């Protein structure tokens, strides 16, 4: 069990980490890479606060060990905005509808929504609800979040 260096990309930037392979991707992002946009909620795959994309698929970063993202493309909430003053249309929609309240679920909601929109499925209310079924909002602002995702899905 010699030390292994894991190489993958985060928001398009190559990273190399010499850390235990069973380190949670969540801890690697927050502690080793100082990307604290991804939040820890329950730490057991129930709440979706730590949702990130691995090779385009939304996952809970608390349930993925670093050894399983070797060679992968990881996307976090930090990668959504195109610049310091340039939020993505999805983020703008969350602001516009009031889809963000206390904010702890927001990064995960955004990433689950990003995966749903990228998938290209018909953005019906039912489909949006299913897409964020793994993300809990303790402010229970679901209606606004669903509105935001529907807004982002409409052609500008």
Length of the chain: 156
Q: What is the DSSP string of 31-78?
A: IIS--TTSPPSSSSSSS-TTEEEETTEEEEGGG-BGGGGTT-EEE-GG
Gap between the Cα atoms of 67 and 77, Å rounded: 21
CB 6 to another protein: min, Å:
10
The token pair that represents 120 in the structure block: 């290209």
- For position 37 contacting another protein by CB under 8 A, the verdict is no
CB 130 to another protein: min, Å:
7
Nearest to another protein of 46, 125 (CB atom): 46
Nearest to another protein of 64, 148 (CB atom): 64
* Stretch 87-146 residues interacting with another protein (CB under 8 A): 112, 115-116, 130-135
Of the candidate spans 44-52, 79-87, 96-104, 141-149, the one that interacts with another protein by CB under 8 A turns out to be: 44-52
Helix (H, G, I), strand (E, B) or coil at 86: strand
CB 1 to another protein: min, Å:
4
């Amino acid at each position: 069990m010699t030390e292994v260096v894991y190489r993958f990309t985060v928001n398009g930037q190559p990273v190399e980490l010499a850390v235990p392979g069973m380190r949670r991707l969540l801890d690697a992002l927050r502690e080793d890479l100082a990307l604290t946009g991804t939040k820890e909620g329950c730490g057991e795959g129930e709440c979706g606060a730590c949702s990130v994309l691995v090779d385009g698929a939304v996952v809970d970063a608390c349930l993925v060990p670093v050894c399983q993202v070797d060679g992968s493309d990881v996307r976090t909430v930090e990668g959504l905005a195109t610049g310091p003053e340039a939020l993505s249309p999805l983020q703008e929609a969350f602001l516009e509808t009031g889809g963000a309240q206390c904010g702890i679920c927001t990064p995960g909601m955004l990433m689950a929504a990003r995966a749903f929109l990228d998938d290209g499925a018909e953005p019906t209310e039912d489909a949006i609800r299913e897409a964020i079924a793994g993300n809990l909002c303790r402010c229970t602002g679901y209606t606004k979040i669903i509105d935001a995702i529907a807004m982002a899905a409409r052609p500008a």
